[in-house]
Amino acid sequence: MMWLNLCALCTDVVVLAVSTVVLLENIQLWIAFGTGKHLGYIPADEIATSLGAEKARALPMFVTRSHR
């Protein structure tokens, strides 16, 4: 099992990471999100697993639609 950490200040990065981690095998991806007192860690691989592969892969469509 491989562990990866990603630092993100934008929700778009979080969404794209969750949609991409489905394609990788044996990866545990944690996203550091926020700054200062509001820094938190998001388990992207667990979110992708709970959504299921099909829904997780569809997430980038929502990023595209929200930036009209």
What's the mean pLDDT in 44-56?
95
Give the containing element (helix H, strand E) for 51. Answer: helix 44-51
Q: Which domain holds residue 7?
A: 2-66
Enumerate helices (H) and strands (E) in the chain, giving the number of each.
3, 3
Confidence of residue 4 (pLDDT cuts 50, 70, 90): confident
Residue 64 to residues 12, 15, 27, 37, Cα–Cα distance (Å): 9, 11, 26, 30
Domain count, the chain: 1
Q: Using the 8-state DSSP alphabet, how is residue 36 labeled? A: G
Read off the pTM: 0.81
